[in-house]
Amino acid sequence: MSTSKFCPNCGQAVKQTDKFCQHCGTKLEQAQQGYSRTASKKPLDKKWLIFGAVVLVLLGAYLGGRSYYQPNKQLERFTTALVGKGDVKSYLVSSDQNLKITAKDAAAFKKSFANSQDQVATMKQHFLMGSSYAGYSWVKSGSHWLIFPAYKLQVNPAYVTLTTNKPGVKFYQDGKAITKKQATMANGYGVKVGPLFPGQYTFTAKGKASGKPIVVKQTKVLAAGNNDLALELATVNFKVEGQAGQAVYINNEKVGTLDKEGEKVIKNYPASAKMKLYLTTKAGNKEIKSEVVDVSGYTYNYQDVDEDDLPEVAPKFKGLISEDEAEDLLESAFHEGEDGSSAASFVGEENNDSYNELVAFFKSLHNLSSYEVEDIKSISPESTTKVKVSYAMKYTFINYDSDSERKKIQQFTYHDAEIVYDQKDNTYKLQSVGKTGTKADWERTYSAAEDD
């Protein structure tokens, strides 16, 4: 081994035993020691430091991801979002590849579990045990970061058949028109919609009845598989009765006038929760209004009910007598006139001129067998407490002789009979039975044998 070395200051050769450089005087022992200390330290490679750091980060990320994406933890996050405010779209998958799940689908699905925490908890327990629940399955579907398996709720698609009772109806799903053509079905008219992601949807049917728009809307939770939803366009059908010429109103809208028979058939009129019907008529120069009748319950199908069998609505006018009441009052008045012992049906009773004329009339008749009010022809209000009535009275006379029995029937029309309403007693009384001519409307005579 060489015994020479070099001066660290001037680079000249020196001996191993020299303590100082013979050329520059530098102390060799100190310089050598300093040189040795410097030469013994080797700096770490920077690349290895970066590599180590990356490895540590990746290892930490992997361990964290493996914990975060555990199947049970994914299930926990899904069920929490389902009953909370979180988005569940990323957790849903359909068994039908043709059904693409949208944010609206996910929202509809989530709505179906609103206020159903117990149901969600039960579903979660089934999935933890590896079983399905109500057609739902917790399955592996795709991955996170190409490493960790992703788990999702797999659902079979839903289909719904919408039906209605009238043709030409337009259907809507959550406000969006369903363009599929309506078809005739066994229970009406409708369309089949799907595939849809199971969940809560609002379906609407829009049509017309009696020229008026009619809308029915219903919210339904669709389950996987086939569903049915009837969207019936409800209409009311009934018959209004009163006096000829009276106007008919429903919810303050005029819908017609009573015909000469005092009737008006309301058919296929759009139903609503509150349907208020009333009549109006003239009382002198004043228009008066009848009582209000709720007709919202008369939702009969007009096509299935004969017109004669329709329910009847006859609103009353306060203080104004009805046809039946007028007929009963006139019958009683004529009986009192024939009997002559009571005048309770007349204003002023025995002091009433019309009553006394009626008594005299019956005394003048011979061979009278029977009489009856045949028809109330009209009731015309004069005020809220007085009406004038026109009516037909039929008389039957039987003439007995030695050889045969002859029957004669005559009908007379009385005009301007006056009936008043006593508000204190809440009763109706006759001011006058009206006037008639001496010539009958019609007359028929025949023998008793012909009658048989």
Query: What is the CATH number for 383?
Result: 3.10.450
Count of domains observed in the chain: 5
What integer pLDDT is reported at residue 337 of this predicted model?
93
Residue pLDDT, tens place only, 243-293: 889 999 999 999 999 998 889 999 888 888 789 999 999 887 888 899 999
Q: How many CB atoms lie within 10 A of CB 285?
A: 5
User: Which percentage of the chain shows pLDDT scores above 70?
Assistant: 89
Cα–Cα distance, 451 to 430 (Å, whole number): 35
pLDDT on residue 64: 58
- Mean pLDDT for 378-405 is 86
The pTM of this model reads: 0.58
Assess whether 403 and 439 both reside in one domain: yes
The reply to whether 19 and 71 lie within a common domain is no
386 neighbors 409 (Cβ within 8 angstroms): no
Q: Which helix (H) or strand (E) holds 357?
A: helix 353-364
Q: Is residue 291 part of a domain?
A: yes
Residues 209, 101 share a domain = no
Write phi, then psi, for 408 (nearest 5 degrees).
Answer: -125, 130
Same domain, 74 and 148: yes
Other CB atoms within a 10 A radius of the CB of residue 47 amount to 8
Residue 396 in domain = yes
Mean pLDDT of 113-127: 85
Question: Which of residues 193, 215, 230 is at a domain's end?
Answer: 230
Residue 19 near residue 11 (C-beta atoms within 8 A)? no
pLDDT on residue 79: 86
Indicate the helix (H) or strand (E) that contains 323.
helix 323-339
Q: Tell me if 45 is assigned to some domain.
A: no
What confidence score (pLDDT) does residue 29 get?
64
DSSP E strand boundaries for 210-315: 212-222, 225-230, 235-241, 247-250, 253-257, 263-270, 276-283, 286-289, 293-294, 312-313
Is residue 326 very low, low, confident or very high in pLDDT (cuts 50, 70, 90)?
A: very high
**Cis omega (within 30 of 0) for bond into 43:** no
Alpha carbons 445 and 443: distance in angstroms, whole number: 7
Beta-strand relationship, 199-209 and 136-144: unpaired
Give the chain's largest Cα–Cα span: 193
- Of 173, 207, 230, the last residue of a domain is 230
Q: Are residues 224 and 240 in the same domain?
A: no
CATH number at residue 216: 2.60.40.10
Say if 62 falls within a structural domain: no
Residue 318 within any structural domain of the chain: no
Last residue of a domain, one of 313, 334, 362: 313
Asked if residue 330 and residue 437 are part of one domain, the reply reads: yes
pLDDT at residue 427 is higher than 50: yes
Band (435; pLDDT cuts 50, 70, 90)? very high
Domain assignment present for residue 332? The answer is yes
Domain ranges, residue 146: 67-155
Average pLDDT over residues 86-91: 86
Residues 281 and 365 in one domain: no
User: Do residues 437 and 328 both lie within one domain?
Assistant: yes
